[in-house]
Chain A
C-alpha cells in the first residue's frame, strides 16, 4: 500500500533554533518527493521538489534531503522564525496513475519566542 509517514506529529521549538522533520514512504513507482508548508487557514505552498537522482535541495532556510534507497526524506529548518509556525507536509508523487500525489499527515511546528 502506498503510504507516507511523518514524524514527529507535532514539535515546539524556540525562535532561532534549528529543527528536522522526518518522512518515510512506501510508494511505488516513485516519481518525486515534495515538501509543502501549510499555514493555518491557507492552502499548502511548495517548498521543495526532488526527483530520484537528487539527494538534497535548499530553499532559503529550508533544506530537504532524500535517500531513495531507504525511502526517507528530511526537512531541516535553520534559524527558525515565528513565521515558520505551520504544518509541514511530505508528499510523494507516483510515476503512474497520472502522477498521483500521496500525502503524509503533516508535522505541526510551533515556534515560540
Chain B
C-alpha cells in the first residue's frame, strides 16, 4: 500500500515570497490533515478536511495560509507571503475516517524562510 506522498521535500524561500506544498493521501482515506511542526515541538494542526469539506481550520493563519482539497483527494497548502516564523516542517496525514482510525503521515516538507 502506497503511503502519504508529499512534495517537495525541502524548500528555501525569502520572506514575503509565496510557496505551495502538495499532498497525495492514501487511496480511500476520507480525512486529510495538514500540520506545522516547529523544531523541538509536537505537530500543530493547521487544517483538517473530511473529503473536500473543512472540519477544523481554527489554527490556520488565514491572512497568509490557504489550503484546498480538490475532489476530495489531493491537497495543496499555500503560504503567501511567507514570514521567518513559518520556517518549520509541514506534515500531511490521512486516515480512513476521522474517528478511531490510524493517521498515516507523509515525510513532510521542510520549509526554510530566510
Residues of A within 8 A of B (CB): 4, 31-32, 34, 36, 41-46, 49, 51, 89, 93, 95, 97-101, 103-106
Contact = CB atoms under 8 A, between A and B. Distances in A.
A32 B99 CA distance: 9
B42 to A, nearest CB: 4
A105 B37 CA distance: 10
A70 B105 CA distance: 29
B100 A32 contact: yes
A100 B105 contact: no
Nearest to A105: B42
A98 B102 contact: no
A34 B55 CA distance: 21
Interface in B95-114: 97-100, 102-108, 110
Pick from A43, A45, A51, A106 the residue with the most CB of B within 10 Å. Answer: A43
Given A43-B91, A43-B93, A44-B105, A101 B100 contact: no
B72 interface: no
Interface in B55-114: 55-56, 91, 93, 97-100, 102-108, 110
Given A31-B100, A43-B93, A98 B56 contact: yes
Contact of B99 (A36, A99, A103): A99
B110 to A, nearest CB: 8
Given A43-B4, A97-B56, A104 B107 contact: no
30 contacts: A4-B42, A32-B100, A34-B102, A36-B105, A41-B110, A42-B107, A42-B108, A43-B93, A43-B107, A43-B108, A44-B43, A44-B91, A44-B105, A46-B102, A46-B103, A49-B102, A51-B100, A89-B42, A93-B99, A93-B100, A98-B50, A98-B56, A98-B98, A99-B31, A101-B45, A103-B42, A105-B40, A105-B42, A106-B41, A106-B42
Nearest to B108: A43
B48 interface: yes
Nearest to A49: B102
